[in-house]
Amino acid sequence: MKIVEWHKIHEILNLLFRWFHIIAGITWIGQTYLFNWMERTLPVEIDPDAGENVSGQLWMVHGGGFYLVEKQTKPRIMPRTLHWFKWESALTWISGMFLLIVVYYMGGLMLESGSEMSELTASLIGTGVLIFGYGAYHLLWNSPLGTNEIVGSIISFILIIVLFVGLDLLFSSRAAMMHIGAAFGTIMTANVWMTILPAQRKMIASVENNESPDMFLAARAKRCSKHNTYMSVPLILIMISSHFPVTTYGNTYNWLILGGFILLGGLAAKWMRG
């Protein structure tokens, strides 16, 4: 295939995957923030006649309609149709991985010029980082250290910065920064599919068997959802960092810039959740 033809195909794939990735991400992150906001707002005012199983109620208005949302600790009856929110996260991650492959693994942006490492080796290491990232997250937050939110957050922050500094020695600075974002996205998607959804299914099975749901499962799923909101804003900042190379990944203190992304994103997420 001619180089010019491949360049055109590469550019079209880049555009299509980027477009789809942004659309899927908007639906996922938007729903995540809505549900996390409702978790904080629902318990504020509850109708006295709502019943003991109701732990929160919320009136909302949007698009000319009024909506009453009710949170039940244990549903009185199982609905005929139960709406799940899962494919938004899967499609966001899948399109993001295709974009990572097209732009970095096949686009020649993984390594600095003159690097002795092969593109294939760099791509394999990059993929391993995503797997390692979720494994480290899962082990940390399910260990005794993870029971203290402040301690777990500080350790997570340090590990992220150390990982970035290590990747910056192997990859191009742009690829190193983007792989931190890809690791965030992988953790967020794994949280949905490996923690939140299984917990919800087990709780539904308990209700159908007329048993009390395991609230530990609910608490762990809620924690993962909260983590997803806090990772989403730094992730977006990392995504757009490639357009500002001097200020971000190309900066002498790029590790400090990344730390600022995470802290600033965390503050923004806290404000949006509240």
Q: pLDDT, tens digit, for every residue of 213-225?
A: 778 888 898 899 8
Q: Residue type for 86, please?
A: K
Contact 122, 170 (CB under 8 A): yes
From residue 255, give the alpha-carbon distance in Å to each of 158, 232, 233, 247, 252.
11, 19, 17, 12, 8
Q: Kindly report, residue by residue over 4-44, the tens digit of the pLDDT.
A: 676 777 788 888 888 888 888 888 888 888 877 777 777 76
Predicted structure pTM score: 0.85
What are the residue boundaries of the structural domains of the chain, listed by start?
3-273
* Those residues with Cβ within 8 angstroms of residue 58's Cβ, 6 or more apart along the chain or in another chain: 38, 41, 42, 44, 68, 69, 70
